Amino acid sequence: MVHNKKYIARPLYIKKALKYADKNLIKIITGQRRTGKSYIMLQIMDQLLKKDPDAHILYIDKELMKFDFIKTASDIEDYFFANRKENSKNYLFIDEVQEIREFEKALRSLLNQNIVDIWCTGSNAEVLSGELADKLSGRYIEIHVHSLSYNEFLTFHGLDNNNDNMFKYLKYGGLPGLKNLSFDEDVIFDYLKIVNDTVLLKDIVKRHKIRNVAMLENLIKFIADNTGSLFSANSISKYLKAQGQNISVVVINNYISYIVDSYYIIKVKRTDLQGKRIFENNDKYYFEDLGLRNAWVGYQPMHINKLIENVVLKHLIVYDYKVSVGNLKGKEIDFIAEKSGNKIYVQCAYLLPDEKTREREFGNLLKISDNYRKMVVSLDEPAGGNIEGIEHWHLRDFLSSSI
């Protein structure tokens, strides 16, 4: 398989993915549409061919009409056996595998025969549910691809690491497709609105047969307006009722789960630091991509706190931290990030102009008695050093770090 597409390397994901090459596991590359999953696949293919020039790669791209005939699990198997190459290492790549009915049956069958290394992409969490999860437990690995990190954003656009460009990132987000556009506000937001429509249509409305599209759009706008705020389906229902829309809590919960499953928003649970219990309601929601969020409600400087929180959360997730919101005796810790037995506690703030604000942000962290890293991330100039062991980071430096 030869392609002629140019791309900018994203080594963070390629390094992670290649660890599983030639292992008898299904590799599933997940993520929201337009975050670059297809190009990650191309990079993996190129690396495999670099390692073994005789490798035989089959690539099914469900975005192309030429593969429209592959509709079912049987079609996947038929295509593979008709095109496999004897005496070579065979690789099967399927882009947007969720578009193929009962795809998991073909993947399971091929995996059991141990005759091909299987890689897929999927734009909906349903790819990892149902029969695939039940019958292939422990036999697949998920590699989640996000929109560009801040460092990737700078690389893609050839920009210097300074505050002006950091604010471009907060405003326009990190979809790789922006690389092909100038930094013209109207042009970029027109593009982002098209992506929003695509995600809504293909991964939510069409998949879940939603009829009340206006309600779905209003719900996303509500989440955009309340990014990083605690709210429940019940509170949304009350809000919509005041707006003249009588929508049940059950329907709202369903719609939110559909949006989360499309990887469009990120749900963050709350944890009680004393009792170690997970709260069952009033979650927080953040956007996979800030540009898409801003395309709904506009880029407003008054929302800077929400944007900072969102981008900090995304950075932690990109580096494989499992993140929750902390509660300590009624005081909130913005993020508890855990990975490999380590923790980082993070507070986000716009500026720390006075002692009262500093006491609030640093004071909450000082109440935590363990010895894990604690940090405050803000836009203060200068930021750095620490106060009583709590690190103070400028947002730009935090986003430039690998933590």
Please state the pTM of the whole predicted model: 0.95
State residue 2's pLDDT score: 58
In the predicted model, is pLDDT for residue 257 greater than 80?
A: yes
State residue 367's pLDDT score: 93
Helix 304-318 with 163-172: angle, nearest 10 deg: 90
Mean pLDDT, range 108-127, rounded to an integer: 92
In the predicted model, is pLDDT for residue 73 greater than 70?
A: yes
State residue 125's pLDDT score: 85
State residue 126's pLDDT score: 75
State residue 387's pLDDT score: 85
| Digit-coded pLDDT (tens) for 149-171 | 999 999 999 999 999 999 999 99
State residue 7's pLDDT score: 93
> 């640093």: which residue's tokens?
362
In the predicted model, is pLDDT for residue 188 greater than 70?
A: yes
| Digit-coded pLDDT (tens) for 36-51 | 999 999 999 999 999 9
Mean pLDDT, range 208-216, rounded to an integer: 93
333's CB contacts (< 8 A; 6+ apart) are: 273, 325, 326, 327, 345, 346, 347, 364, 365, 368
Q: How far apart are CA 21 and CA 27, in angstroms?
A: 8
Q: How far apart are CA 365 and CA 391, in angstroms?
A: 10
* Enclosing H/E stretch for 339: strand 331-339
pLDDT range class, residue 274, cuts 50, 70, 90: confident
Q: Residue 394's closest CA among 337, 353, 350?
A: 350
Mean pLDDT, range 82-91, rounded to an integer: 96
Q: Residue 371: exposed, middle, or buried by beta-carbon count in 10 A (0-12, 13-18, 19+)?
A: exposed
pLDDT range class, residue 360, cuts 50, 70, 90: confident
State residue 375's pLDDT score: 97
**% helix, strand, coil for the chain, step of 5:** 45, 20, 35
State residue 395's pLDDT score: 98
In the predicted model, is pLDDT for residue 392 greater than 70?
A: yes
> 């309601």: which residue's tokens?
281
Domain residue extents for the chain: 11-144, 150-400
With a pLDDT cut of 90, the percent of the chain lying above it is 80
pLDDT range class, residue 280, cuts 50, 70, 90: low
Q: Could you tell me the two tokens for 44?
A: 């993996």
State residue 276's pLDDT score: 66
Class of domain 11-144: alpha beta
* Mean pLDDT estimate for the chain: 93
Name the least confident of 3-7, 63-67, 97-101, 212-216. 3-7
With a pLDDT cut of 70, the percent of the chain lying above it is 97
| Digit-coded pLDDT (tens) for 171-183 | 999 999 999 999 9
Helix 304-318 with 290-297: angle, nearest 10 deg: 150
CB 379 within 8 A of CB 320: no
State residue 318's pLDDT score: 98
In the predicted model, is pLDDT for residue 278 greater than 90?
A: no
